[in-house]
Amino acid sequence: MKRFILLLSPLINLISPSIISSDEQRIPIVINTWDFTNATVKAWDVINRQKKSAIDAIVKGCSVCEREQCDGTVGYGGSPNENGETCLDAFLMDGRTMNIGAVGSIRNIKDAIAVAKHVLLYTKHSLLVGEQATQFALMMGFKKQSLSTEKSKAMHRDWKKKNCQPNFWTNVLPSPENSCGPYVPMSEDFLTSAHEYQSFFSNYNHDTIGMVAIDVNGNIATGTSTNGVNHKIPGRVGDSPIPGAGGYADNAVGAAAATGDGDILMRFLPSMLAVEFMRNGMTPDEAGRKALARISHHYPKFVGAIVVVDKNGNYGAACHGIDSFPFSVYHSKLKNVKVEKRECAMSI
């Protein structure tokens, strides 16, 4: 992940408005986090040439990143957990029905976003997790495959050689700052009640793909796919499959998709906040900025970004705590996919 560079005093970036009149709507439209343009192009082909649904576009687009292992942070072979295993999170939301399908920490299944679609279509649930999500996928006809690669195995070996640094433990013994464990909890009498936020974002850690699509019928969908954060504690589920955190969509308003430090983002549901801010009259860029401001008020050094689209195809984005944030867009007024890059503001 070559874009998450912490700034000394990060502020939130506000993108200049991408506003158009109602008679110049940019529909259909596909927009996704980062410069994963192959995913954008595939999703665009699905809704523009094939005239399929926004849901189909999201699934096909995110599937490209799962196969291509975008930046090593989507799909198999990346972000091994403490046991050296890669697990996947994925999410899909239909803005027409408000239905959701998601999987968290799914094991041994490469097609996470497609499994999320099966949760949406073939169950009355919203989120399945862990080994039970794998069993569901097998029942639905998906193939069981290892998600580890020689590269992910090497990443895990190197991490072990460095005394398992960094890791996500706190208030345990022996000290997680110089030990791999196993750990036991400290007495509650000695627990520290607050911890200074520390980001572990670095190259390859991590660029969730978050995508929004509006099809020719004006139906809106959003989806995400990721292999999470490097060296996470087994069983950890990030923000990506959490409704309102990784993504949110409502045909009446628009949609948003977020990326960044999932353990922080999920506490504030920035994607839902952005949609609700648009419902109250804000432009997409204003909504994205305010959603991230809600987080930075509590975590001034957090790392994250968001893309936001209203129901007419107006779009914007905002970012915080990173050097820059590229995102990809393809809409009815463009001849080719376009990558827009926004520098995030900072103060000296």
Residues forming the annotated binding site for substrate?
236-239, 259-262
The gap between the terminal CA atoms of the chain, to the nearest Å, is: 25
Nearest to 250 by CA among 96, 92, 99: 96
- Sheet containing 87-94: order of strands: 127-129, 100-107, 87-94, 220-226, 209-214, 29-33, 324-331, 338-343
Q: Which residue ranges make up the annotated binding site?
A: 236-239, 259-262
Ramachandran angles phi, psi of 291, nearest 5°: -60, -45
Respond yes or no: is residue 97 known to be catalytic: no
Residue owning tokens 């259909």? 28
In sequence order, what are the beta bridge partners of 185? Answer: 172
Tell me the C-alpha distance between 306 and 202, whole Å: 18
Ramachandran angles phi, psi of 289, nearest 5°: -65, -45
Tell me the C-alpha distance between 74 and 83, whole Å: 19
In sequence order, what are the beta bridge partners of 343? Answer: 324
Ramachandran angles phi, psi of 43, nearest 5°: -65, -40
Radius of gyration of the chain (CA): 19
The one catalytic residue in 208, 222, 226, 283 is: 208
Nearest to 82 by CA among 167, 203, 208: 167
Tokens of 284: 């997409």
Nearest to 222 by CA among 79, 29, 69: 29
Among all residues, which ones are annotated catalytic?
208
